[in-house]
Amino acid sequence: MQKPLNIGLIGYGFMGRTHSNGYKRVNDFFPELKHRPVLKAVCGRSPEKLKAFADQWQYESTETDWRELIKRDDIDAIDIVTPNNSHAEIAIAAAEAGKMILCEKPLALNPTEGEAMVAAVEKAGVANSVWYNYRRVPAVTMAKQLIDEGRLGRIFHYRANFLQDWTISDDVPQGGAALWRLDAAAAGSGVTGDLLAHCIDTAIWLNGSISKVSGMTETFVKERVHTETGKVQPVSIDDACAFLCRFENGSLGLFESTRYARGHKALYTFEINGENASIRWDLHDLHRLEWFDHGDEGKLRGWRSIHVSDHDGEQPYMDRWWVPGLNIGYEHTFVHHVADFLKSLDTGETMHPNFRDALETQVVCDAVLKSAAEENWKVV
């Protein structure tokens, strides 16, 4: 008999759906887990949309004020899937109420908020995690295993991109419920916190801490209509950001993100070059890990395309799904995240990435933005 873990979800948009799907699916595919999420309550400010979501996803109850949700004795874990400017206030209140917390990325608007969040969860001793979900694409997890096994040897280069094209038109407004990502007050930053944060989280996980950065940003469309005021207002988020960095292990990094790469909707790629081998991964072909091994016999040496889908027990997560060779997708990364969170509760092991890990990413984002503004290198 599994122990119920009563979830209070705050926000019911894009991530509200991916997380709810994760909670519903997890025990079917990870039956050994000792906890079972229960969709106890969902919270949002628009009662009608909230009710429709609760009915569709079978939440037991709704709340229109997150403070009321946090006060409830029948909620064990608070899941924060609201815009970035509300993460800190909700998380700190939830920690003070002794709730476990799963928070969406980026952790906060800035490192000051992030530090207060880390202090709150660590003081309260509550389980916490941040949904940097791309770590749990099986091919990305396998890249981590190959690196940790020392197969790449000394690492020289890390490069990553996250490219989109949805804000190219001047007609896209900023702010309000749908377009909060273009409003610095709600989002904190543009592509740096929204997209590069994913690349930085993966990079720190795979290649260790970043010690110095030098960034540049651009805001291509300088003014947009604000959906709430109806007025044309300056745009203060970064539309594009690129940065160079040094990792503590001596390797060099090159990162780029933009919402102005025509033709790209959500292309996340990374490549790592080591002394003995290289790895390449692309979100649009997420099962595939490209692998070059200099130790291969000379005449057969070349890039291998490994389809990470074998359930012989050696490729991460895949033994939980279908027969070898069949694919899973984006949504499964959230199922894996929930599974690993529940496993951490079962075993007492620390879940990663947690608030402290996400603070490290937040600090790098902040240093990149400061470096771009001041046109100099920043020590992280």
Ligand X SMILES: NC(=O)C1=CN([C@@H]2O[C@H](COP(=O)(O)OP(=O)(O)OC[C@H]3O[C@@H](n4cnc5c(N)ncnc54)[C@H](OP(=O)(O)O)[C@@H]3O)[C@@H](O)[C@H]2O)C=CC1
Ligand Y SMILES: O=C1CO[C@H](CO)[C@@H](O)[C@@H]1O
Interface positions with ligand X (CB under 6 A): 10-16, 43-46, 49-50, 66, 81-84, 86, 104-105, 131, 133, 177, 194
Q: Which does 265 bind (CB under 5 to 8 A by kind): ligand Y, ligand X, none?
A: none
Closest by CA position to 192, among listed 361, 352, 333, 330: 361
In this complex, which beta carbon is closest to ligand X, that of residue 38 or of residue 103? 103
Contact 109, 85 (CB under 8 A): yes
Q: Which two tokens stand for residue 263?
A: 């033709």
239 lies in the site for ligand Y, by CB under 6 A: no
In this complex, which beta carbon is closest to ligand X, that of residue 83 or of residue 253? 83
- Strand pairing report for 303-307 and 288-293: antiparallel
**Shortest CB 229 distance to ligand Y, Å:** 24
**Shortest CB 179 distance to ligand X, Å:** 9
Q: 3-state class of 258 per DSSP?
A: strand
Give dist(CA 78, CA 69) in Å, integer: 9
Q: Which does 266 bind (CB under 5 to 8 A by kind): ligand X, ligand Y, none?
A: ligand Y
Q: Which two tokens stand for residue 96?
A: 């003070």
Q: 3-state class of 58 per DSSP?
A: coil
In this complex, which beta carbon is closest to ligand X, that of residue 188 or of residue 253? 188
Give dist(CA 81, CA 7) in Å, integer: 12
266 lies in the site for ligand Y, by CB under 6 A: yes
Contact 202, 160 (CB under 8 A): yes
**Shortest CB 292 distance to ligand X, Å:** 28
In this complex, which beta carbon is closest to ligand Y, that of residue 232 or of residue 266? 266
**Shortest CB 63 distance to ligand Y, Å:** 24
In this complex, which beta carbon is closest to ligand X, that of residue 44 or of residue 114? 44
In this complex, which beta carbon is closest to ligand Y, that of residue 266 or of residue 373? 266
CA 131, chain centre distance (Å): 5
Give dist(CA 234, CA 73) in Å, integer: 44
Q: Which does 243 bind (CB under 5 to 8 A by kind): ligand X, ligand Y, none?
A: none
Give dist(CA 90, CA 86) in Å, integer: 6
Which of residues 194, 201, 238, 256 is near ligand Y by CB under 6 A? 194
In this complex, which beta carbon is closest to ligand X, that of residue 117 or of residue 277? 117
326 lies in the site for ligand Y, by CB under 6 A: no
287 lies in the site for ligand Y, by CB under 6 A: no
Number of residues lying near ligand Y (CB under 6 A): 3
**Shortest CB 266 distance to ligand Y, Å:** 5
User: Where are any strands of DSSP class E within the chain?
Assistant: 3-10, 35-43, 61-63, 77-80, 100-103, 128-130, 155-163, 210-218, 223-225, 232-234, 240-247, 252-258, 267-274, 277-282, 288-293, 303-307, 378-379
**Shortest CB 35 distance to ligand X, Å:** 22
* C-alpha distances in Å from residue 378, one per residue of 2, 240, 369: 49, 19, 10
Q: Which does 46 bind (CB under 5 to 8 A by kind): ligand X, ligand Y, none?
A: ligand X
**Shortest CB 2 distance to ligand Y, Å:** 30
Q: Which does 161 bind (CB under 5 to 8 A by kind): ligand Y, ligand X, none?
A: none
198 lies in the site for ligand Y, by CB under 6 A: yes
Interacting residues toward ligand Y by CB under 6 A: 194, 198, 266
